[in-house]
């Protein structure tokens, strides 16, 4: 007689599952984390409306509202509780808006917000299950599908200002003499909403670290990776590669370091994996800017390193007694 096959965990479906450490406890739920992120973004949103006027308000409001409506519709169609009152969909929609120029047409904003929620979150099981940063998934889809509308320098060609990274890409380091460092710091140039408001985004990111909403390993390692790689290239050939501070103050580096790379679902958990994650993403930003097609390498750099998160999470110290 064939003995029965006994599977000890066969009847545990639906039981509470506790994954192995490391665990991170912030004391905040989804609603608290989302509200903290929204508060940290608020100064940058106000400055964006000061710099770009009602166009910035239009992009932020449309992206946030469409993301919330899409999340509610998807949850209703899936027969799940509609919990958009936790503000996570609103936060994701605003993060996508910060990747857009203020001149983005309404249909592009709406399409990106729909993709952020549907393709970036719901397709993988909802909040916390996405292997990639959801706003970046939508950004990549829009950037590939509608490159002219997503190109800041092209979309805002009527402006008298220039985008620093486009000037560097197409005209070389000599073209950067038109930009003073103080102008880059104060946002006196073209860029996406999250690429121009450097000071309020940095203050918001530091506040998130101080109040332990995010841990400092990924942001600091990300910025160190950008500065280190840019410094190395500038030291090799200063006539060809821009100064490290230029890379730090342009594009979505600050926004990506504090708000995109730290996405809880798509980034590693352990200390060393987070440091490696941040360093690799930061180095890749400069590599894409130097040799890639796109002027701002931040979104694609973070997306690519997101794919390595499961592998990086396996980098752990050996348990006591292990060889």
* Calpha distance 218→274 (Å, rounded): 5
- Over 80: is that where the pLDDT of 1 sits? no
Answer whether residue 4 is part of any domain: no
Q: Is residue 16 part of a domain?
A: no
Domain annotation covers residue 80: yes
Q: What CATH number does the domain containing 46 carry?
A: 1.10.3430
Domain assignment of residue 90, given as a range: 30-314
What is the average pLDDT across 243-257? 93
- 43-56 pLDDT, tens digit each: 999 999 988 889 99
CB atoms within 10 A of CB 3: 5
Record the tokens describing residue 224, joined without a space: 């160190």
Q: Mind giving me the DSSP string for 212-242?
A: TSS-SHHHHHHHHHHHHHHHHHHHH-TTTS-
Q: Comparing C-alpha atoms, which of 300, 176, 303 is closest to residue 250?
A: 176
What pTM value is reported for the model? 0.87
Q: Between 45 and 19, name the one with better pLDDT.
A: 45
Considering all CA atoms of the chain, what is the largest pairwise distance in Å, rounded to the nearest integer?
86
Report if residue 282 sits inside a domain. yes
- Is residue 254, in this structure, part of any structural domain at all? yes
The whole-number pLDDT of residue 9 equals: 45
Q: What share of the chain is helix, strand, coil (3-state, %, to 5)?
A: 60, 0, 40
Q: Name the domain count of the chain.
A: 1
Cα dihedral 142→144→147→153 (10° resolution): 80
Which pLDDT band holds residue 105 (cuts at 50, 70, 90)?
A: very high
Q: Does 267 map to a domain? A: yes
181: in domain: yes
* Mean of pLDDT values over 88-111: 93
Q: Is residue 3 part of a domain?
A: no
| pLDDT, tens only, 267-319 | 998 889 999 999 999 999 999 999 988 888 899 999 999 999 989 988 877 76
Asked if residue 22 has a cis previous peptide bond (ω within 30° of 0), the answer is yes
- Name the band, by pLDDT with cuts 50, 70 and 90, for residue 121: confident
């Amino acid at each position: 007689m064939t003995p029965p096959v006994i599977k000890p965990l066969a009847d545990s479906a639906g039981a509470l599952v506790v994954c192995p450490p490391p665990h991170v406890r912030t004391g905040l739920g989804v609603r608290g984390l989302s509200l903290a992120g929204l508060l940290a973004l608020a100064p940058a949103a106000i400055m964006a409306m000061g710099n770009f006027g009602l166009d910035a308000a239009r992009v932020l409001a449309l992206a946030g509202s469409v993301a919330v409506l899409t999340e509610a519709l998807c949850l209703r169609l899936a027969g799940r509780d509609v919990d958009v009152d936790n503000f996570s969909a609103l936060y994701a929609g605003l993060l996508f808006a910060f990747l857009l120029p203020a001149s983005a047409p309404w249909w592009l904003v709406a399409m990106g917000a729909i993709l952020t929620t549907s393709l970036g979150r719901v397709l993988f099981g909802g909040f916390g299950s996405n292997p990639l940063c959801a706003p970046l998934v939508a950004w990549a889809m829009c950037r590939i599908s509608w490159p002219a509308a997503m190109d800041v320098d092209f979309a805002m060609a009527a402006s008298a200002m220039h985008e620093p990274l486009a000037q560097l890409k197409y005209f070389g380091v000599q073209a950067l003499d038109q930009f003073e460092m103080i102008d880059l710091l104060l946002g006196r140039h073209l860029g996406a909403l999250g690429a121009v408001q450097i000071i309020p985004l940095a203050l918001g990111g530091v506040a998130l670290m101080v109040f332990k909403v995010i841990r400092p390993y990924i942001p600091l390692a990300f910025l160190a990776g950008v500065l280190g790689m840019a410094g190395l290239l500038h030291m090799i050939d200063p006539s060809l590669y821009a100064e490290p501070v230029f890379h730090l103050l342009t594009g979505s580096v600050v926004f990506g370091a504090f708000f995109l790379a730290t996405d809880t679902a798509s980034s590693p958990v352990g200390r060393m994996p987070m440091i490696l994650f941040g360093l690799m993403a930061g180095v890749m930003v400069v590599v894409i800017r130097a040799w890639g097609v796109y002027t701002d390498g931040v979104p694609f750099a973070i997306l690519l390193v997101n794919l390595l998160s499961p592998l990086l999470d396996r980098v752990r110290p050996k348990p006591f007694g292990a060889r």
